[in-house]
Structure 1
Amino acid sequence: MSYDLMVFDKERAPDTREDFLAWYHEQTKWSEPHDYQIAAHTTPALQKWYADIIEHFPNMNTVDEELLDEDEDNELESRLAEYSIGYHSIYVCFAWSVADEANRIMKMLAQKHDVGFFDVSSTNGEIIR
């Protein structure tokens, strides 16, 4: 099980919690006709957010294998994240060992790039516009 967070295009996501959660469930059906590993399909703000977040939490599907081989203390491996990039959202799965840091950095970068934030894994499902 992973610690999951999502950022989203605030202009496309509904305002009410109930409508937002319905929209979120549609997003996570992964039914858009594109590869969910390619950032070029998402909005410019989310692309910029993605470029910043992978500096902190590299994409496990694109990280250089040689870097992993050199990672003797597993520092890099513990920071790898899995990204699913949609037209209007990016869903991210982290290791629980980095949950607090991932939450803090994702919120900070969401604010920097003016995108929304959803704490998928929390019991209250915090949504920040």
Structure 2
Amino acid sequence: MSTTLITIVAVIGFGLITGTITMIMIFKLLRNNKQKQHLRKSILMEGIPAEAIIYDITQTSSSMDGRPGIRLDLTVTQVDGRTFPTIVETYIPVTHIPQFQKGSVIHVRYIANGNERKVEVEDAYIP
């Protein structure tokens, strides 16, 4: 075999391998995002309603469908009066921005899984 043929086969083989790895990573990422969206929706549909106080709000560098991404530092008050702190990253419609200020009380829903709690904001944007 000539050196040129070996080089061509090596380049094609390398391209196929890297292309396959890239496609696998993309499909895993898409599946993971779909699972996260499903979890968020199920928390909002089936979660326990509660109120939360916003202690800090920070805009993230992301956005979804024109809605800004935010990180909320919350203290959630459960129905039984106990509280727990949490940080939620979500997207909010621009028209809801006045509701999301430090010290504001917002409605959330959460699910408890052992000591871990997953919280979602009721007025957040879910595609």
TM-score computed with the length of structure 2 as normaliser: 0.21
TM-score for the superposition, normalised by structure 1 = 0.21
Bigger-Rg structure (1/2): 2
Greater RCO (CA < 8 Å, at least 6 residues apart): 1
Identify the structure with the greater strand proportion.
2
